[in-house]
Amino acid sequence: MELYAKPIITTSEGGTINIKVLPLTLEYIDARLAELAIPAEFNYDVREYETLIQCASSHKDAVERLKWRFGFGPQEAEFLLGLTIDEKKVFFIQENCEAEIAKWEALKRVLAVQ
């Protein structure tokens, strides 16, 4: 049995639709796991983030506080300020990725046996 990843669909300038389907390989799974890995320095408490934002006197002040406390660049801080609380949790709490990581690791074990 061969398993396949989610298709990658693109459209060329001429309007041609291209669909690329890749077989699931151990390398593909390792790449997905690497994308899901959250470095320890980004595993922040979302409550601390919210407190910093609420204490800010302005949007610019909020950006500066995020840059100072978490080491974000200006674009990262602006991006995070535009997210909802649920979306922010993805960036701050590693637990949200653990189920997804477990799925990929289980699939990797299945492929390694074949």
CB-CB contact of 15 with 76 (8 Å): no
List, for residues 61-113, the tens digit of each pLDDT value: 988 988 888 788 888 888 878 876 666 666 665 555 677 778 888 888 888 77
HSE (CB half, 13 Å, CA atoms) of 23? 5
Domains contained in the chain, number: 1
Q: In terms of C-beta distances under 8 Å and separation of at least 24 residues, what long-range contacts does 96-101 make, across chains too?
A: 97/36, 97/37, 97/38, 100/36, 101/33, 101/36, 101/37
Distance between CA 105 and CA 36 in Å, rounded?
12
Q: Is residue 73 part of a domain?
A: yes
In the DSSP assignment, the letter for residue 7 is: P
Q: Is residue 5 part of a domain?
A: no
Report pLDDT for 113: 75
Domain containing 55 equals 39-93
Q: Is residue 78 part of a domain?
A: yes
50 pLDDT above the threshold of 70: yes
Q: Is residue 14 part of a domain?
A: no
